[in-house]
A = this chain, B = another copy of it.
């Protein structure tokens, strides 16, 4: 803690730019959000990747999206074991306290976490298999997905399919949370699965009727 440094001047400058424009233009709205609290309609779970900002992709207004970002946009299964589960806490808060109406899981192309999972599962990254690897243990969540794609021809095709599995397995795991399943079944919450291609800018959504992703 005692090593914390002042904010780099570039970011100080940018913050003042935000203050002089976005904040100033929406001052009364920010004040109301502060006084009255947030009321987001949608939760989005996406990756930490610096190339993929859902706030930009979906033109986030202040107060609209409750956003959780982790490596490879993964959701673990429901496991109320008393340990710390940051993602489960975020889901619980969004669904039970904020009562969001939509929950979107979005994956993306050339995901480093997914690539690591593929390398680990195919025996090419023994260091990720070590108990001490936080990334490896986190990507264990996606191992069932590897089983589903390992017989696809070609490594790149396997990784592409695994990125979509990261979305599907998260959607499956979400349904293991009783409080979430209840709201989905009562029609109070709908879930959505997306996959975004960074290079060509396309966006695909999962369609259960066709059990596949289709371009939007």
Q: Which residues of A contact B (CB under 8 A)?
A: 1-43, 48-51, 53, 55-71, 74, 76, 80-94, 97, 99, 101-102, 104, 109-110, 112-113, 131-135, 137-141, 168, 171-172, 175, 183-184, 187-194, 197-201, 203, 205-208, 216
A171 CB contacts on chain B under 8 angstroms:
1, 4
Check if B7 sits within 8 Å of A205, measured CB to CB.
Answer: yes
Check if B15 sits within 8 Å of A203, measured CB to CB.
Answer: yes
Closest CB-CB distance, A163 to chain B, in whole Å?
13
Check if B59 sits within 8 Å of A71, measured CB to CB.
Answer: no
CB nearest neighbor in B for A60? B53
Which of B31, B41, B74, B80 is close to A134, meaning CB atoms less than 8 Å apart?
A: B80
Check if B80 sits within 8 Å of A51, measured CB to CB.
Answer: no
A192 CB contacts on chain B under 8 angstroms:
4-8
Check if A27 sits within 8 Å of B201, measured CB to CB.
Answer: yes
CB-CB under 8 A for A88 and B134, given A34-B199, A51-B63: yes
CB nearest neighbor in B for A62? B51
